[in-house]
Amino acid sequence: MSLETKVSAIQDCSYLPNCDLTSYTTMRLSSKGNLIEVRSIEGLQKLLPLLTAEKREYLVVGWGANQILPAICDKIIIHLDFPFDSTYLEVARDEYILPASLGINHLTSHAVKFGLKGWEVFTGIPASLGGAIYMNAGTNLGEIGTLVKSVQVVTRTGELREEIIDKTSFSYRHNHFLKDGEVIVGATLVHLGMDSTIPQKIKDYLEYRKKTQPLATKNCGCVFKNPHKELQAGRLIDLMGLKALTVGGLRVSPKHANFIENGGASNWDQFKDLVDTIRFQMDHFYGIEFELEVKIPYH
């Protein structure tokens, strides 16, 4: 029996072979591979042990805002699409139990409506909740990890476990609790009370992002981690004179040098060449080894 047949037999799982994955990342680099859409936690609990038994590697892709996929993806791509009743966000709560596939934009709108203090930290982040927690996404205002009370995870063996978050659970753009092959399926978020200034703070920060970042182009967000809080990657790339550097249809953004824009039919190899050029220049002239913020399997 083929893997496709076995996966298709699992309720709430759909197997799409040789699927065009280009639209599954915000960078929109050309990519193809086998995709499995999962619509329930129970379906995922059956899927992961199957893939493990079949010795098939997999990769979870949410909004794909901080991920790059190769032209031909050997790993199976898993995309979560859990149901969510939007009326849940019609009232303010002390705690929120939310699915990993929910878009952060919905939470920002909720924060504006009720003035939830602390939730301004993920303003404008184009990600699913699971993806944002996975990389402890944040802005100049803070990081999402400070608002997470617990995370629900499905293991390779199909077990559902709850990770209670503490001060050691996150660091800059990184979580310390997710083991290899585990998938975030939900989380409990808290806030820091109500604050009437939050709606304006969020609106002001969205305007700031529009002015300083290329939000309207095809990109993957910040490509490199800042070496230090006081030492921003974009500023260093700008000082090197690498703004607008191009490789094929890709270029370093003239608006913000830590963004790479896809202007057309660009591919994985071109992205890798451009990233490697920037990293070499930084190491050669500044002695700084840039660490990637964007997730690039096989890099």
Same domain, 118 and 54: no
Same domain, 48 and 92: no
pLDDT of residue 66: 87
pLDDT of residue 20: 95
pTM for the whole thing?
Answer: 0.92
Same domain, 153 and 109: yes
- List 73, 143, 173, 182, catalytic entry: 173
- Is residue 222 flagged as an active site residue? yes
- List 19, 28, 222, 261, catalytic entry: 222
**C-beta of residue 45 within 8 angstroms of C-beta of residue 182:** no
Let me know if residue 210 belongs to a domain: no
Let me know if residue 292 belongs to a domain: no
Q: Can you give the CATH number for the domain in which 258 is found?
A: 3.90.78.10
Let me know if residue 207 belongs to a domain: no
> What are the structure tokens assigned to 197, written together?
């200034």
* Mean per-residue pLDDT pooled into runs of 10, the chain (299 residues): 95 97 93 97 98 96 90 95 97 98 97 97 94 93 96 98 97 94 98 97 94 93 87 92 93 96 89 94 90 76
pLDDT of residue 299: 43
**How many domains are contained in the chain?**
3
Let me know if residue 208 belongs to a domain: no
Let me know if residue 204 belongs to a domain: no
Domain that holds residue 238: 215-286
Let me know if residue 297 belongs to a domain: no
